[in-house]
Amino acid sequence: MTVLVCALCGTTLDADADEQSGMLALSWVASHERGRDVRYCPSCARENLRAIEGKLDAEFW
Ligand SMILES: [Zn+2]
């Protein structure tokens, strides 16, 4: 059982619930931050894509 939890809005998606959920899970974005795998739902991913990419630069701090 694979449950995705959006790191920003807390939306959850049970990727194994049914075929449609499985398809939807493919549009979620996986990111690797501070040694943890985090997920973003499609709408948050769109809004925060630059912030997510920007975190690469934040490692220089
Ligand atoms: Zn979200």
Number of domains, the chain: 1
Q: What is the mean pLDDT of the chain?
A: 85
Q: How far away, in angstroms, is 60 Cα from ligand 1 center? A: 27
25: enclosing H helix or E strand? helix 19-25
Q: How far away, in angstroms, is 46 Cα from ligand 1 center? A: 10
Q: d(Cα 17, Cα 2) in Å, to the nearest integer?
A: 9
**Nearest C-alpha neighbor of 2 from the set 40, 17, 27:** 17
* Domain coverage including residue 35: 3-58
Q: How far away, in angstroms, is 37 Cα from ligand 1 center? A: 15
3-state secondary structure (DSSP) of residue 8: coil
Encode burial over 44-58: b for 16+ CB neighbours within 10 A, e otherwise. Answer: bbeebeeebeeeeee
Tens digit of each residue's pLDDT (9 = 90 or more) over 7-31:
999 999 999 999 999 999 999 998 8
Structure tokens at 43: 């709408």
Q: How far away, in angstroms, is 41 Cα from ligand 1 center? A: 4
